[in-house]
Chain A
Protein backbone atom coordinates (compact mmCIF):
# COMPACT_ATOMS: atom_id res chain seq x y z
CA UNK A 1 0.00 0.00 0.00
CA UNK A 2 2.58 2.49 -1.01
CA UNK A 3 1.67 5.85 -2.44
CA UNK A 4 4.07 5.44 -5.35
CA UNK A 5 2.15 2.38 -6.53
CA UNK A 6 -1.13 4.30 -6.25
CA UNK A 7 0.07 7.05 -8.51
CA UNK A 8 1.33 4.66 -11.20
CA UNK A 9 -1.83 2.59 -11.76
CA UNK A 10 -5.07 3.39 -9.99
CA UNK A 11 -6.29 0.56 -7.77
CA UNK A 12 -9.16 -1.61 -9.03
CA UNK A 13 -10.79 -1.20 -5.63
CA UNK A 14 -10.06 1.48 -3.06
CA UNK A 15 -11.77 1.17 0.31
CA UNK A 16 -11.33 4.05 2.71
CA UNK A 17 -12.57 4.23 6.29
CA UNK A 18 -15.65 2.12 5.66
CA UNK A 19 -18.03 1.81 8.60
CA UNK A 20 -21.22 -0.19 8.79
CA UNK A 21 -23.63 -1.12 11.58
CA UNK A 22 -26.64 -3.38 11.73
CA UNK A 23 -28.72 -1.69 14.40
CA UNK A 24 -26.38 -1.44 17.39
CA UNK A 25 -23.95 -4.02 16.11
CA UNK A 26 -20.89 -2.43 14.52
CA UNK A 27 -19.88 -4.82 11.76
CA UNK A 28 -17.22 -2.72 10.03
CA UNK A 29 -15.20 -0.27 12.10
CA UNK A 30 -13.16 1.70 9.61
CA UNK A 31 -11.70 -0.51 6.91
CA UNK A 32 -8.92 0.64 4.55
CA UNK A 33 -7.98 -1.66 1.69
CA UNK A 34 -6.69 -1.45 -1.87
CA UNK A 35 -6.92 -4.14 -4.50
CA UNK A 36 -4.75 -3.75 -7.58
CA UNK A 37 -5.76 -4.76 -11.12
CA UNK A 38 -5.15 -8.48 -11.69
CA UNK A 39 -4.65 -9.13 -8.00
CA UNK A 40 -6.34 -11.96 -6.08
CA UNK A 41 -7.09 -11.01 -2.49
CA UNK A 42 -8.43 -13.54 0.00
CA UNK A 43 -10.37 -12.23 2.99
CA UNK A 44 -10.13 -14.61 5.94
CA UNK A 45 -11.27 -14.37 9.52
CA UNK A 46 -13.70 -15.82 12.04
CA UNK A 47 -17.42 -15.69 11.31
CA UNK A 48 -18.88 -12.34 12.30
CA UNK A 49 -15.62 -10.59 11.52
CA UNK A 50 -17.35 -8.53 8.79
CA UNK A 51 -15.62 -9.98 5.72
CA UNK A 52 -18.83 -10.88 3.88
CA UNK A 53 -20.36 -7.53 4.74
CA UNK A 54 -17.30 -5.74 3.39
CA UNK A 55 -17.55 -7.74 0.17
CA UNK A 56 -21.26 -6.90 -0.17
CA UNK A 57 -20.49 -3.22 0.30
CA UNK A 58 -18.18 -3.29 -2.73
CA UNK A 59 -21.12 -3.72 -5.13
CA UNK A 60 -23.54 -1.81 -2.93
CA UNK A 61 -25.67 -4.78 -1.88
CA UNK A 62 -25.11 -3.25 1.55
CA UNK A 63 -25.04 0.49 2.08
CA UNK A 64 -22.09 1.85 3.98
CA UNK A 65 -22.70 4.17 6.94
CA UNK A 66 -19.45 6.04 6.43
CA UNK A 67 -16.26 6.04 4.42
CA UNK A 68 -16.13 5.36 0.71
CA UNK A 69 -15.53 2.62 -1.80
CA UNK A 70 -14.22 3.25 -5.30
CA UNK A 71 -14.09 0.71 -8.10
CA UNK A 72 -11.92 1.76 -11.06
CA UNK A 73 -11.62 5.21 -9.52
CA UNK A 74 -15.39 5.73 -9.33
CA UNK A 75 -17.52 5.78 -6.17
CA UNK A 76 -19.88 2.82 -5.89
CA UNK A 77 -23.51 3.67 -5.17
CA UNK A 78 -22.86 7.33 -4.43
CA UNK A 79 -22.06 10.63 -6.05
CA UNK A 80 -19.89 13.17 -4.34
CA UNK A 81 -21.00 16.75 -4.07
CA UNK A 82 -19.06 19.08 -1.82
CA UNK A 83 -18.29 17.32 1.44
CA UNK A 84 -21.22 14.92 1.19
CA UNK A 85 -22.01 11.83 -0.87
CA UNK A 86 -25.51 11.20 -2.21
CA UNK A 87 -26.87 7.75 -2.97
CA UNK A 88 -27.39 7.16 -6.68
CA UNK A 89 -30.56 6.08 -8.42
CA UNK A 90 -31.24 2.39 -9.08
CA UNK A 91 -30.39 2.80 -12.76
CA UNK A 92 -26.99 4.36 -12.05
CA UNK A 93 -26.09 1.79 -9.40
CA UNK A 94 -26.98 -0.97 -11.84
CA UNK A 95 -24.58 0.43 -14.43
CA UNK A 96 -21.74 0.19 -11.93
CA UNK A 97 -22.73 -3.30 -10.83
CA UNK A 98 -22.50 -4.54 -14.41
CA UNK A 99 -18.73 -4.28 -14.11
CA UNK A 100 -18.62 -6.26 -10.87
CA UNK A 101 -19.41 -9.98 -10.90
CA UNK A 102 -20.51 -11.72 -7.73
CA UNK A 103 -20.73 -15.36 -6.70
CA UNK A 104 -22.71 -16.33 -3.62
CA UNK A 105 -22.39 -19.07 -1.04
CA UNK A 106 -25.86 -20.41 -1.92
CA UNK A 107 -25.31 -20.14 -5.73
CA UNK A 108 -28.67 -18.31 -6.16
CA UNK A 109 -29.18 -19.59 -9.68
CA UNK A 110 -32.58 -18.74 -11.16
CA UNK A 111 -34.45 -22.04 -10.76
CA UNK A 112 -37.05 -21.29 -13.44
CA UNK A 113 -34.44 -20.86 -16.18
CA UNK A 114 -32.17 -23.39 -17.83
CA UNK A 115 -28.43 -23.26 -17.26
CA UNK A 116 -27.92 -21.35 -20.52
CA UNK A 117 -30.93 -19.15 -19.67
CA UNK A 118 -29.24 -18.19 -16.41
CA UNK A 119 -26.05 -17.23 -18.22
CA UNK A 120 -27.62 -15.14 -21.02
CA UNK A 121 -30.29 -13.40 -18.91
CA UNK A 122 -28.28 -10.35 -17.85
CA UNK A 123 -26.43 -9.60 -21.11
CA UNK A 124 -29.67 -9.89 -23.09
CA UNK A 125 -31.87 -7.93 -20.66
CA UNK A 126 -29.29 -5.19 -20.35
CA UNK A 127 -28.99 -4.92 -24.12
CA UNK A 128 -25.30 -5.88 -24.18
CA UNK A 129 -25.86 -8.62 -26.72
CA UNK A 130 -28.54 -10.08 -28.92
CA UNK A 131 -30.04 -13.40 -27.87
CA UNK A 132 -28.09 -15.50 -30.40
CA UNK A 133 -24.80 -13.73 -29.72
CA UNK A 134 -25.29 -14.12 -25.96
CA UNK A 135 -26.05 -17.81 -26.36
CA UNK A 136 -22.83 -18.38 -28.31
CA UNK A 137 -20.86 -16.49 -25.67
CA UNK A 138 -22.74 -18.35 -22.93
CA UNK A 139 -21.88 -21.74 -24.42
CA UNK A 140 -18.23 -20.74 -24.54
CA UNK A 141 -18.37 -19.76 -20.87
CA UNK A 142 -20.07 -23.03 -19.92
CA UNK A 143 -17.33 -24.90 -21.75
CA UNK A 144 -14.78 -22.89 -19.80
CA UNK A 145 -16.28 -24.04 -16.47
CA UNK A 146 -16.57 -27.61 -17.81
CA UNK A 147 -20.35 -27.74 -18.18
CA UNK A 148 -20.87 -27.48 -21.94
CA UNK A 149 -23.21 -30.48 -21.99
CA UNK A 150 -25.49 -29.12 -19.25
CA UNK A 151 -26.83 -26.03 -21.02
CA UNK A 152 -30.41 -27.34 -21.25
CA UNK A 153 -30.58 -28.64 -17.67
CA UNK A 154 -32.40 -26.82 -14.88
CA UNK A 155 -30.38 -25.84 -11.80
CA UNK A 156 -32.01 -28.38 -9.50
CA UNK A 157 -30.84 -31.19 -11.76
CA UNK A 158 -27.22 -30.23 -11.06
CA UNK A 159 -24.97 -30.95 -8.11
CA UNK A 160 -23.92 -28.09 -5.86
CA UNK A 161 -20.49 -27.88 -7.46
CA UNK A 162 -22.00 -27.74 -10.94
CA UNK A 163 -24.46 -25.08 -9.84
CA UNK A 164 -21.66 -22.96 -8.43
CA UNK A 165 -19.70 -23.24 -11.68
CA UNK A 166 -22.80 -22.11 -13.59
CA UNK A 167 -23.04 -19.18 -11.18
CA UNK A 168 -19.45 -18.26 -12.03
CA UNK A 169 -20.22 -18.48 -15.77
CA UNK A 170 -23.32 -16.32 -15.20
CA UNK A 171 -21.25 -13.64 -13.48
CA UNK A 172 -18.58 -13.77 -16.20
CA UNK A 173 -21.20 -13.30 -18.92
CA UNK A 174 -21.32 -9.59 -18.09
CA UNK A 175 -17.55 -9.40 -18.75
CA UNK A 176 -16.84 -7.92 -15.32
CA UNK A 177 -13.53 -6.27 -14.45
CA UNK A 178 -13.77 -7.44 -10.86
CA UNK A 179 -15.12 -10.64 -9.34
CA UNK A 180 -16.38 -10.98 -5.78
CA UNK A 181 -16.66 -14.44 -4.24
CA UNK A 182 -18.63 -14.78 -1.00
CA UNK A 183 -17.63 -18.13 0.54
CA UNK A 184 -18.16 -19.88 -2.80
CA UNK A 185 -17.40 -23.38 -1.51
CA UNK A 186 -18.90 -23.26 1.99
CA UNK A 187 -22.21 -24.85 0.95
CA UNK A 188 -20.58 -27.66 -1.04
CA UNK A 189 -19.94 -31.28 -0.20
CA UNK A 190 -16.17 -31.70 0.34
CA UNK A 191 -15.64 -33.77 -2.82
CA UNK A 192 -17.20 -31.02 -4.98
CA UNK A 193 -15.05 -28.17 -3.66
CA UNK A 194 -12.07 -28.99 -5.89
CA UNK A 195 -13.88 -28.39 -9.22
CA UNK A 196 -15.04 -24.94 -8.15
CA UNK A 197 -11.64 -23.95 -6.79
CA UNK A 198 -9.90 -25.05 -9.97
CA UNK A 199 -12.25 -22.88 -12.07
CA UNK A 200 -11.45 -19.96 -9.76
CA UNK A 201 -7.73 -20.73 -10.06
CA UNK A 202 -7.98 -20.63 -13.88
CA UNK A 203 -9.78 -17.31 -13.65
CA UNK A 204 -7.03 -15.91 -11.43
CA UNK A 205 -4.32 -17.08 -13.83
CA UNK A 206 -6.19 -15.34 -16.69
CA UNK A 207 -5.62 -12.09 -14.81
CA UNK A 208 -9.05 -11.44 -13.28
CA UNK A 209 -9.11 -9.11 -10.30
CA UNK A 210 -10.70 -11.09 -7.50
CA UNK A 211 -11.75 -10.60 -3.89
CA UNK A 212 -12.51 -13.94 -2.27
CA UNK A 213 -14.04 -14.47 1.16
CA UNK A 214 -13.04 -18.03 1.97
CA UNK A 215 -12.24 -20.64 4.56
CA UNK A 216 -10.17 -22.60 2.07
CA UNK A 217 -6.65 -21.91 3.33
CA UNK A 218 -5.17 -24.18 0.68
CA UNK A 219 -6.72 -22.02 -2.05
CA UNK A 220 -5.52 -18.86 -0.33
CA UNK A 221 -1.99 -20.22 -0.14
CA UNK A 222 -1.82 -21.33 -3.76
CA UNK A 223 -3.80 -18.73 -5.66
CA UNK A 224 -3.96 -15.52 -3.61
CA UNK A 225 -1.50 -12.71 -4.13
CA UNK A 226 -2.43 -11.31 -0.75
CA UNK A 227 -4.27 -12.57 2.30
CA UNK A 228 -6.19 -10.15 4.51
CA UNK A 229 -7.14 -11.19 8.02
CA UNK A 230 -10.18 -9.50 9.56
CA UNK A 231 -11.51 -9.72 13.09
CA UNK A 232 -14.34 -7.86 14.85
CA UNK A 233 -14.89 -5.43 12.01
CA UNK A 234 -11.24 -4.45 11.72
CA UNK A 235 -8.48 -5.32 9.30
CA UNK A 236 -5.90 -6.93 11.56
CA UNK A 237 -3.08 -7.73 9.18
CA UNK A 238 -2.38 -8.45 5.54
CA UNK A 239 0.45 -9.67 3.38
CA UNK A 240 1.67 -12.44 1.12
CA UNK A 241 -0.05 -15.79 1.83
CA UNK A 242 3.13 -17.47 3.02
CA UNK A 243 3.73 -14.59 5.41
CA UNK A 244 0.21 -14.42 6.89
CA UNK A 245 -0.59 -18.13 6.91
CA UNK A 246 2.79 -19.35 8.15
CA UNK A 247 4.28 -16.51 10.16
CA UNK A 248 1.36 -14.39 11.33
CA UNK A 249 2.62 -11.54 13.44
CA UNK A 250 -0.64 -10.76 15.19
CA UNK A 251 -1.81 -12.85 18.09
CA UNK A 252 -5.46 -12.95 16.92
CA UNK A 253 -4.38 -14.24 13.51
CA UNK A 254 -2.31 -16.92 15.18
CA UNK A 255 -5.28 -17.99 17.32
CA UNK A 256 -7.59 -18.10 14.27
CA UNK A 257 -5.18 -20.10 12.15
CA UNK A 258 -4.59 -22.59 14.97
CA UNK A 259 -8.34 -23.29 14.92
CA UNK A 260 -8.81 -23.66 11.15
CA UNK A 261 -5.58 -25.30 9.98
Chain B
Protein backbone atom coordinates (compact mmCIF):
# COMPACT_ATOMS: atom_id res chain seq x y z
CA UNK B 1 0.00 0.00 0.00
CA UNK B 2 1.43 3.41 -0.91
CA UNK B 3 2.37 5.69 1.94
CA UNK B 4 -0.08 8.41 0.84
CA UNK B 5 -3.06 6.07 1.29
CA UNK B 6 -2.00 5.15 4.78
CA UNK B 7 -1.98 8.73 5.99
CA UNK B 8 -5.41 9.48 4.62
CA UNK B 9 -7.03 6.43 6.17
CA UNK B 10 -5.72 7.50 9.56
CA UNK B 11 -7.71 10.70 9.25
CA UNK B 12 -10.90 9.69 7.55
CA UNK B 13 -12.45 7.84 10.48
CA UNK B 14 -12.69 4.47 8.77
CA UNK B 15 -10.47 2.86 11.36
CA UNK B 16 -12.85 3.80 14.19
CA UNK B 17 -15.88 2.53 12.25
CA UNK B 18 -14.21 -0.75 11.50
CA UNK B 19 -13.05 -2.42 14.73
CA UNK B 20 -11.53 -5.39 12.89
CA UNK B 21 -9.26 -3.06 10.96
CA UNK B 22 -7.34 -3.78 7.78
CA UNK B 23 -3.98 -4.51 9.29
CA UNK B 24 -2.47 -1.05 8.55
CA UNK B 25 -5.48 1.01 9.68
CA UNK B 26 -4.62 1.53 13.34
CA UNK B 27 -5.75 4.35 15.55
CA UNK B 28 -3.01 6.16 17.52
CA UNK B 29 -3.96 6.37 21.20
CA UNK B 30 -2.12 9.05 23.16
CA UNK B 31 -0.56 8.07 26.48
CA UNK B 32 -3.11 8.30 29.31
CA UNK B 33 -2.17 10.33 32.39
CA UNK B 34 -4.22 8.96 35.31
CA UNK B 35 -1.96 10.80 37.77
CA UNK B 36 -3.07 14.12 36.36
CA UNK B 37 -6.72 13.30 37.01
CA UNK B 38 -5.97 12.36 40.62
CA UNK B 39 -3.94 15.54 41.20
CA UNK B 40 -6.65 17.70 39.61
CA UNK B 41 -9.30 16.11 41.79
CA UNK B 42 -7.22 16.80 44.93
CA UNK B 43 -6.70 20.45 43.99
CA UNK B 44 -10.40 20.86 43.24
CA UNK B 45 -11.36 19.38 46.62
CA UNK B 46 -9.08 21.82 48.42
CA UNK B 47 -10.38 24.74 46.34
CA UNK B 48 -14.00 23.88 47.15
CA UNK B 49 -13.14 23.54 50.83
CA UNK B 50 -11.50 26.97 50.92
CA UNK B 51 -14.30 28.59 48.95
CA UNK B 52 -17.03 27.10 51.11
CA UNK B 53 -15.27 28.19 54.30
CA UNK B 54 -14.94 31.72 52.89
CA UNK B 55 -18.71 31.76 52.43
CA UNK B 56 -19.91 29.80 55.46
CA UNK B 57 -17.45 30.91 58.18
CA UNK B 58 -19.26 33.91 59.61
CA UNK B 59 -16.17 35.07 61.43
CA UNK B 60 -14.81 36.47 58.18
CA UNK B 61 -17.51 39.11 58.70
CA UNK B 62 -17.74 40.05 55.05
CA UNK B 63 -20.20 42.79 55.87
CA UNK B 64 -17.51 44.47 57.98
CA UNK B 65 -15.01 44.01 55.17
CA UNK B 66 -17.43 45.76 52.83
CA UNK B 67 -18.04 48.50 55.33
CA UNK B 68 -14.35 49.40 55.71
CA UNK B 69 -13.09 48.56 52.20
CA UNK B 70 -13.57 52.10 50.90
CA UNK B 71 -13.45 53.90 54.25
CA UNK B 72 -11.42 57.07 54.22
CA UNK B 73 -8.93 55.76 56.82
CA UNK B 74 -8.16 52.68 54.71
CA UNK B 75 -7.98 54.65 51.46
CA UNK B 76 -5.63 57.20 52.97
CA UNK B 77 -3.49 54.32 54.28
CA UNK B 78 -3.49 52.80 50.79
CA UNK B 79 -2.43 56.14 49.34
CA UNK B 80 0.46 56.36 51.83
CA UNK B 81 1.54 52.83 50.90
CA UNK B 82 1.47 53.71 47.20
CA UNK B 83 3.47 56.93 47.36
CA UNK B 84 5.90 55.45 49.87
CA UNK B 85 6.53 52.58 47.43
CA UNK B 86 6.92 54.94 44.47
CA UNK B 87 9.24 57.41 46.22
CA UNK B 88 11.40 54.78 47.92
CA UNK B 89 11.68 52.68 44.78
CA UNK B 90 12.65 55.70 42.66
CA UNK B 91 15.38 56.71 45.09
CA UNK B 92 16.50 53.07 45.34
CA UNK B 93 16.84 52.72 41.55
CA UNK B 94 18.91 55.91 41.22
CA UNK B 95 21.08 55.03 44.23
CA UNK B 96 21.34 51.45 42.99
CA UNK B 97 22.70 52.61 39.61
CA UNK B 98 25.26 54.80 41.40
CA UNK B 99 26.37 51.93 43.65
CA UNK B 100 26.49 49.51 40.71
CA UNK B 101 28.72 51.94 38.77
CA UNK B 102 30.91 52.28 41.87
CA UNK B 103 31.24 48.50 42.06
CA UNK B 104 32.24 48.36 38.39
CA UNK B 105 34.72 51.21 38.76
CA UNK B 106 38.45 50.47 38.61
CA UNK B 107 38.94 52.69 41.68
CA UNK B 108 39.44 50.33 44.66
CA UNK B 109 38.10 52.86 47.18
CA UNK B 110 34.82 53.29 45.30
CA UNK B 111 34.56 49.56 44.75
CA UNK B 112 35.27 48.85 48.43
CA UNK B 113 32.71 51.43 49.54
CA UNK B 114 30.05 49.90 47.31
CA UNK B 115 30.88 46.40 48.51
CA UNK B 116 30.64 47.49 52.14
CA UNK B 117 27.31 49.16 51.50
CA UNK B 118 25.83 46.07 49.89
CA UNK B 119 27.27 43.83 52.58
CA UNK B 120 25.81 45.94 55.37
CA UNK B 121 22.32 46.48 54.01
CA UNK B 122 21.85 42.94 52.77
CA UNK B 123 23.32 41.50 55.95
CA UNK B 124 20.92 43.07 58.45
CA UNK B 125 17.13 42.70 58.49
CA UNK B 126 15.10 45.59 57.09
CA UNK B 127 12.96 45.67 60.24
CA UNK B 128 16.06 46.15 62.40
CA UNK B 129 17.33 48.90 60.06
CA UNK B 130 14.00 50.72 60.29
CA UNK B 131 13.80 50.58 64.09
CA UNK B 132 17.45 51.60 64.29
CA UNK B 133 16.85 54.58 62.05
CA UNK B 134 13.73 55.52 64.00
CA UNK B 135 15.84 55.65 67.17
CA UNK B 136 18.80 57.38 65.57
CA UNK B 137 18.31 60.41 67.77
CA UNK B 138 19.45 58.28 70.70
CA UNK B 139 22.76 57.82 68.87
CA UNK B 140 23.08 61.25 67.27
CA UNK B 141 20.83 63.69 69.19
CA UNK B 142 22.03 66.60 67.06
CA UNK B 143 22.74 66.46 63.35
CA UNK B 144 25.55 68.77 62.28
CA UNK B 145 26.42 69.79 58.75
CA UNK B 146 30.12 70.49 58.36
CA UNK B 147 33.53 69.09 57.55
CA UNK B 148 34.91 66.33 59.84
CA UNK B 149 37.39 67.92 62.30
CA UNK B 150 36.77 71.18 60.42
CA UNK B 151 34.23 73.98 60.41
CA UNK B 152 30.59 73.31 61.26
CA UNK B 153 27.93 75.13 59.29
CA UNK B 154 24.71 74.47 61.22
CA UNK B 155 23.10 71.84 63.41
CA UNK B 156 19.54 70.64 64.04
CA UNK B 157 18.05 68.30 66.63
CA UNK B 158 17.64 64.91 64.94
CA UNK B 159 14.05 64.50 66.07
CA UNK B 160 13.02 67.70 64.29
CA UNK B 161 13.75 66.43 60.82
CA UNK B 162 13.53 62.66 61.20
CA UNK B 163 9.77 62.33 60.98
CA UNK B 164 8.32 58.82 60.57
CA UNK B 165 7.77 59.55 56.88
CA UNK B 166 11.40 60.50 56.34
CA UNK B 167 12.62 57.53 58.35
CA UNK B 168 10.43 55.29 56.22
CA UNK B 169 11.71 56.72 52.94
CA UNK B 170 15.34 56.63 54.01
CA UNK B 171 15.09 53.16 55.52
CA UNK B 172 13.25 51.53 52.62
CA UNK B 173 15.30 53.15 49.87
CA UNK B 174 18.72 52.58 51.46
CA UNK B 175 17.89 48.92 51.94
CA UNK B 176 16.40 48.47 48.49
CA UNK B 177 19.32 50.27 46.81
CA UNK B 178 21.63 47.45 47.91
CA UNK B 179 19.49 44.93 46.04
CA UNK B 180 18.98 47.21 43.05
CA UNK B 181 22.74 47.71 42.80
CA UNK B 182 23.22 43.97 42.35
CA UNK B 183 20.45 43.85 39.73
CA UNK B 184 21.88 46.80 37.79
CA UNK B 185 25.39 45.37 37.97
CA UNK B 186 24.16 42.07 36.57
CA UNK B 187 22.38 43.90 33.77
CA UNK B 188 25.42 45.97 32.82
CA UNK B 189 27.65 42.89 32.87
CA UNK B 190 25.22 41.09 30.60
CA UNK B 191 25.98 43.53 27.76
CA UNK B 192 28.79 42.21 25.61
CA UNK B 193 32.08 44.07 25.84
CA UNK B 194 32.13 44.30 22.05
CA UNK B 195 29.30 46.84 22.28
CA UNK B 196 31.46 49.17 24.36
CA UNK B 197 34.43 48.64 22.05
CA UNK B 198 32.41 49.39 18.94
CA UNK B 199 31.11 52.59 20.53
CA UNK B 200 34.61 53.56 21.69
CA UNK B 201 35.97 53.00 18.20
CA UNK B 202 33.37 55.47 16.90
CA UNK B 203 34.74 58.09 19.27
CA UNK B 204 31.84 58.12 21.75
CA UNK B 205 32.66 59.16 25.29
CA UNK B 206 32.31 56.83 28.26
CA UNK B 207 29.27 58.59 29.72
CA UNK B 208 27.52 58.56 26.33
CA UNK B 209 28.33 54.88 25.82
CA UNK B 210 26.82 54.04 29.20
CA UNK B 211 23.68 56.08 28.55
CA UNK B 212 23.05 55.31 24.88
CA UNK B 213 24.54 51.87 24.32
CA UNK B 214 24.99 49.86 27.53
CA UNK B 215 22.07 50.86 29.77
CA UNK B 216 19.36 50.53 27.07
CA UNK B 217 20.51 46.95 26.48
CA UNK B 218 20.98 46.22 30.18
CA UNK B 219 17.40 47.39 30.82
CA UNK B 220 16.07 44.17 29.33
CA UNK B 221 17.89 42.21 32.02
CA UNK B 222 17.28 44.78 34.78
CA UNK B 223 13.55 45.30 34.29
CA UNK B 224 12.01 41.92 35.24
CA UNK B 225 13.74 41.68 38.65
CA UNK B 226 13.06 45.40 39.24
CA UNK B 227 9.36 44.69 38.77
CA UNK B 228 9.62 41.95 41.37
CA UNK B 229 11.47 44.31 43.70
CA UNK B 230 8.72 46.92 43.31
CA UNK B 231 6.13 44.34 44.29
CA UNK B 232 8.29 43.30 47.26
CA UNK B 233 8.73 46.96 48.20
CA UNK B 234 4.96 47.43 48.25
CA UNK B 235 4.70 44.61 50.75
CA UNK B 236 7.72 45.73 52.79
CA UNK B 237 6.05 49.10 53.39
CA UNK B 238 3.84 47.20 55.87
CA UNK B 239 6.91 47.02 58.13
CA UNK B 240 6.58 50.79 58.51
CA UNK B 241 3.59 50.09 60.79
CA UNK B 242 6.10 49.47 63.60
CA UNK B 243 7.10 53.13 63.55
CA UNK B 244 3.45 54.19 63.68
CA UNK B 245 3.22 55.65 60.22
CA UNK B 246 -0.35 55.21 58.96
CA UNK B 247 0.19 53.17 55.82
CA UNK B 248 -2.28 50.49 54.77
CA UNK B 249 -1.57 47.89 57.46
CA UNK B 250 -1.25 50.42 60.28
CA UNK B 251 -4.54 52.08 59.25
CA UNK B 252 -6.25 48.69 59.52
CA UNK B 253 -4.56 48.05 62.87
CA UNK B 254 -5.75 51.38 64.24
CA UNK B 255 -9.32 50.46 63.39
CA UNK B 256 -9.30 46.92 64.75
CA UNK B 257 -7.53 47.91 67.95
CA UNK B 258 -10.62 50.00 68.61
CA UNK B 259 -13.35 47.67 67.28
CA UNK B 260 -11.70 44.25 67.77
CA UNK B 261 -12.73 43.29 64.20
CA UNK B 262 -9.25 42.00 63.58
CA UNK B 263 -9.89 39.40 60.88
CA UNK B 264 -12.13 41.46 58.58
CA UNK B 265 -9.75 44.40 58.69
CA UNK B 266 -6.77 42.20 57.92
CA UNK B 267 -8.85 40.92 54.99
CA UNK B 268 -9.41 44.49 53.83
CA UNK B 269 -5.67 45.18 53.90
CA UNK B 270 -4.82 41.87 52.21
CA UNK B 271 -7.35 42.39 49.43
CA UNK B 272 -5.94 45.85 48.71
CA UNK B 273 -2.38 44.46 48.64
CA UNK B 274 -3.54 41.77 46.20
CA UNK B 275 -5.26 44.29 43.95
CA UNK B 276 -2.22 46.56 43.77
CA UNK B 277 0.28 43.73 43.22
CA UNK B 278 -1.92 42.36 40.43
CA UNK B 279 -1.97 45.74 38.71
CA UNK B 280 1.81 46.01 39.13
CA UNK B 281 2.28 42.56 37.61
CA UNK B 282 0.27 43.57 34.54
CA UNK B 283 2.26 46.78 34.22
CA UNK B 284 5.50 44.83 34.49
CA UNK B 285 4.49 42.48 31.66
CA UNK B 286 3.61 45.48 29.51
CA UNK B 287 6.94 47.21 30.17
CA UNK B 288 8.94 44.06 29.47
CA UNK B 289 7.18 43.67 26.17
CA UNK B 290 7.96 47.24 25.21
CA UNK B 291 11.67 47.18 26.08
CA UNK B 292 12.28 43.97 24.15
CA UNK B 293 10.86 45.51 20.98
CA UNK B 294 14.00 45.01 18.96
CA UNK B 295 13.95 41.31 19.74
CA UNK B 296 10.50 40.59 18.38
CA UNK B 297 8.28 42.21 15.86
CA UNK B 298 6.35 45.12 17.27
CA UNK B 299 3.51 43.83 19.37
CA UNK B 300 0.89 45.77 21.26
CA UNK B 301 -0.10 44.86 24.78
CA UNK B 302 -3.56 43.77 23.67
CA UNK B 303 -2.14 41.86 20.72
CA UNK B 304 0.22 40.08 23.08
CA UNK B 305 -2.64 39.07 25.37
CA UNK B 306 -4.65 37.80 22.41
CA UNK B 307 -1.68 35.85 21.14
CA UNK B 308 -1.28 34.23 24.52
CA UNK B 309 -4.90 33.21 24.53
CA UNK B 310 -4.31 31.20 21.34
CA UNK B 311 -2.01 28.55 22.77
CA UNK B 312 -0.84 26.90 19.56
CA UNK B 313 -0.16 29.98 17.50
CA UNK B 314 3.06 29.43 15.63
CA UNK B 315 3.29 32.95 14.27
CA UNK B 316 5.40 33.99 17.27
CA UNK B 317 8.47 32.75 15.47
CA UNK B 318 7.64 34.52 12.23
CA UNK B 319 9.29 37.80 13.15
CA UNK B 320 12.57 36.17 14.05
CA UNK B 321 13.28 34.58 10.73
CA UNK B 322 16.43 35.58 8.99
CA UNK B 323 16.15 36.58 5.37
What is A's interface to B at a CB cutoff of 8 Å?
59, 61, 90-91, 94-98, 100-102, 104, 106, 108-113, 121-122, 125-126, 154, 156-159, 162, 167, 170-171, 174, 180
Closest chain-A Cβ to B262's Cβ sits at a distance in Å of 51
Q: Which of B206-231 contact A (CB under 8 A)?
A: 206, 208, 212-213, 216-217
> Could you tell me if A91 and B205 are in contact, using CB atoms closer than 8 angstroms?
yes
A98, B203: Cβ atoms closer than 8 Å: yes
**What A residues does B198 contact at CB under 8 A?**
102, 104, 108-110, 167
Is B126 among interface residues, defined by CB-CB distance under 8 A? no
Q: Which residues of the partner chain B approach A109 to less than 8 Å between Cβ atoms?
A: 198
For A95, what are the chain B residues with a Cβ–Cβ distance below 8 Å? Answer: 203
Check A171–B204 contact: CB distance below 8 A: no
Residue on B with the closest CB to A56? B197
Contacting pair A171 B197 (CB below 8 A): no
Question: Which residue of B198, B203, B208, B216 has the most chain A CB atoms within 10 A of its CB atom?
Answer: B203
Q: B195, B202, B204 — which one has the most chain A CB atoms within 10 A of its CB?
A: B202
Listed in ascending order, the chain B residues whose CB lies under 8 Å from chain A are 192, 194-195, 197-206, 208, 212-213, 216-217, 294-295, 320, 322-323
B203: chain A residues at CB < 8 Å are 94-98, 122, 126, 174
Given contacts A111-B294, A156-B295, 8 further A-B contacts (CB under 8 A): A91-B205, A104-B197, A106-B194, A108-B194, A108-B198, A109-B198, A121-B212, A125-B212
A102 touches B216 (CB 8 A): no
A179 CB → nearest B CB, Å: 11
A144 to B252, CA, bound (A): 69
Q: Which residues of B are found within 8 Å of A157, using beta-carbon distances?
A: 322-323
Q: Chain B residues near A171 (CB, 8 Å)?
A: 201-202
Bound state CA distance, A58 and B216, in angstroms?
Answer: 29
The answer to whether A156 touches B294, judged by C-beta atoms less than 8 angstroms apart, is yes
Contacts of A97 in B (CB 8 A): 200-203
Tell me, in angstroms, the Cα distance from A156 to B295 when the chains sit together: 8
**Which of B194, B213, B322 is in CB contact (< 8 Å) with A104?**
B194
A112 contacts B216, CB within 8 Å? Answer: yes
Please measure, in the bound complex, the distance between the C-alpha atom of A196 and the C-alpha atom of B216, giving whole angstroms: 29
Are A61 and B201 touching (Cβ within 8 A)? yes
Do the beta carbons of A90 and B206 come within 8 Å of each other?
yes
The answer to whether A125 and B201 have CB atoms under 8 Å apart is: no
- Known contacts: A104-B198, A154-B294. The answer to whether A159 contacts B205 by CB under 8 A is no
Q: Which residue of B lies closest to A106 (CB)?
A: B194
Among candidates B199, B217, B320, residue contacting A112 with C-beta atoms closer than 8 Å: B217
Within the complex, the shortest CB–CB distance from A177 to chain B, in Å, comes to 13
Expressed in whole angstroms, the minimum distance between the Cβ of A120 and any Cβ of chain B is: 11
Supply 5 A–B pairs (Cβ within 8 Å), ascending by A. A90-B206, A95-B203, A108-B192, A122-B204, A126-B203
Q: Which residues of B contact A156 (CB under 8 A)?
A: 294-295, 320
CB–CB A108/B195 < 8 A? yes
> In the bound complex, what is the Cα–Cα distance between A191 and B206 (angstroms)?
37
In the bound complex, what is the Cα–Cα distance between A162 and B322 (angstroms)? 11
Q: Which of A111, A113, A162, A180 has the most CB of B within 10 A?
A: A111
Taking each of A102, A125, A154, A167, which has the highest tally of chain B beta carbons within 10 Å of its own beta carbon? A125
A contact residues around B295 at 8 Å (CB): 156
Contact A108 B197 (CB under 8 A): yes
Whether B201 pairs with A101 at a CB distance below 8 angstroms is yes
Nearest chain-A residue to B320 (Cβ)?
A156
**Contact (Cβ within 8 A) B217 A94:** no
Neighbouring B residues of A100 by C-beta, 8 Å: 201
Q: Lowest 3 A-B CB distances belong to which pairs? A: A98-B203, A108-B198, A102-B201
- Option from A111, A126, A154 in Cβ contact (under 8 Å) with B204: A126
Cβ B217 vs Cβ A125 within 8 A: no
Measured between beta carbons, the chain A residues less than 8 angstroms from B217 are: 110-112
Contact partners of B200 in chain A: CB under 8 A: 61, 94, 97
- Shortest CB-to-CB span from B120 to chain A, Å, is 32
With A121-B212, A125-B212, A157-B322 as given contacts, are A90 and B294 in contact (CB-CB < 8 Å)?
no
